[in-house]
Structures are given as structure tokens and as C-alpha cells.
Amino acid sequence: MRAICEHGPLLQMLFSWLLDVLGSMNNERTMNHAPSTPGLPLTPPPLGPVDAIVLGASAGGVGALLAILSGLPASFLLPMVAVVHIPRDKPSLLVEALGAYAHIAVCEACDKDRLLPGLVIAPPDYHVLLDVDSGGLHLAGAQDVHLALSNDALVNYSRPSIDVLFQSSAEVFGSRVAGIVLTGANDDGALGLWAIKEYGGLCAVQSPDEASARRMPEAAIASAQPQFVAPLNGIIQWIIALDAHRAGDTEGTVLHGR
């Protein structure tokens, strides 16, 4: 009881912020309903070695990320970067909201920071990209990758944009990145996930039937034809398996300078 009282003000602040975010997403969800998509691939993709995971979500995305983070063990070491569509003109409490339920580190992206284990969240009104320390091809690991923030024009009416993050991750990591599109009510992430697949990376999409808003998953499925479409529980288990597979991999990654 004492612990609850001590954190009461923070919890109230997070709850108010979440209500505000959910309210702002409600119109997006209502205006962008799409019909069901038949014929989804339900077999998990091969557990190819990956050095990072990128995620994108919009309407309903806070709840989806909370579910994923609460299911990952403290021993999880794969770096993850996420874009969640939240209001661009208001302070974000997303790191605090997610960190309260996570067993791994959660932080907001800062320009030039190195990509480290844990979850990095794109800040409001900035695109987040991945970049390497030097041009050309070289054999290295995620420790040679850093974050870059940009206030370039909106992409898919969004800043941050999922497409921007996903495309940069494909250019940097080649086949050694996994992209995941979660619930949302617009088409952001569809082209980015297609780029990841074109570079040989792994692609997963939350099942539209489970998603709070199905348009984003369905757009990603239509564009990228991902190897894996599943409810959140299946995606969580796949993410954990990717990290276990990484632990047994010693080859490193070929990073592509952009």
C-alpha cells in the first residue's frame, strides 16, 4: 500500500496522459477502418540472426507495447527501436508509461546516441533513423550503429514516421534486422516493412483481428507479405526466440553505410 501511495502522483499523471493520447487517436481509428484481410501467413519465420528489432504502432500502440515489454525477461539483450504515433505538440510520457512495466531499459532517442540493449522510443515531432559510424561495407555489430534525429517533413502525415525508421534500419543492417508492425489506423510502416523484406530481413505483423485498429497491420501485410502474422503473444515469443538465437550467433553483421 505504501508503494502505491508513493507512486500515486506519477500514476495519476501517466493515466491522464494516456487518456489524452487515446482520445487523440480515436478520430484516426474511426476514419480509417478497413475490411478484413484473408489468407494470413501464420507460420513463424526462420530465426535468422538479427542485431536489432524495429517496431511501429499508432492507434492502440501504447497497450500493444506494454504487452510486449511486460513479456520480455530482464535478460533480453537485442536492441529495439520503436515509433509510436503520439501528438506532436504535447510532451510525451511514453517512456515513463512503458518503463513502469518493463524488465529492460526504456529511454527516449537522443541524437548521436549509440544503439544499446533495451527499447528506444522516438521523441515527439522527430523522425528517428539508424546510421553507422563510417561509410561503406564492414563487418561489425550493433555497437557501431547510432541514432539520428531529424525534423524533416512529415511522412504519411507523421513525424516520427515508422517508414523512415524501418527504411534506415534496412539500409544499415541489411538482412540482420526484424521489423514489426503493430496496431494502427493509417498506412505508415507498410513501405518500410517492404524495404526490410527487400533487404532480406525478417517481417512480422500483429494480427488485424486482434489489433485495436486494423488498417496499419493490413496495409503492411498487403505491401510486404510478411513471413509472420500473429497475435501479440505469438510475437512476444518470437522476439524472445530471436534474442536466444542471437546469443548463439558469432558471425557479426555486415552494416551498410548510407
Tell me the CA distances in angstroms from 218 to 39, 43, 209, 213, one per residue in order.
11, 17, 10, 10
Residue of 58, 92, 168, 212 with catalytic role = 58
Is 35 exposed, middle or buried (CB count within 10 Å of its CB: 0-12, 13-18, 19+)?
exposed
Query: Measured between alpha carbons, how far is residue 62 from residues 31, 196, 219 in Å?
Result: 19, 23, 20
Query: Which residues, other chains included, contact 251 with Cβ-Cβ below 8 Å and sequence gap of 6+?
Result: 49
How far is Cα 132 from Cα 124, in angstroms, rounded to an integer? 23
What residue ranges in the chain does DSSP mark as E strands?
52-57, 79-84, 106-108, 118-121, 127-132, 137-140, 145-150, 177-181, 202-206, 228-230, 253-256
- To the query of whether residue 188 is one of the catalytic residues in this protein, the response is yes
Give phi and psi for 83, each to the nearest 5. Answer: -110, 125
Whether 138 sits among the annotated catalytic residues: the reply is no
Annotated catalytic residue: which of 85, 92, 163, 169?
85
How far is 51 from 242, CA to CA, in rounded Å?
A: 9
CA nearest to 94, candidates 116, 61, 130? 61
What order of strands is seen across the sheet that includes strand 177-181?
106-108, 118-121, 79-84, 52-57, 177-181, 202-206, 228-230
Q: How many residues does the chain have?
A: 258
Asked if 85 is an active-site residue, the reply is yes
Catalytic pick among 51, 163, 188, 243: 188
Active site residues: 58, 85, 188
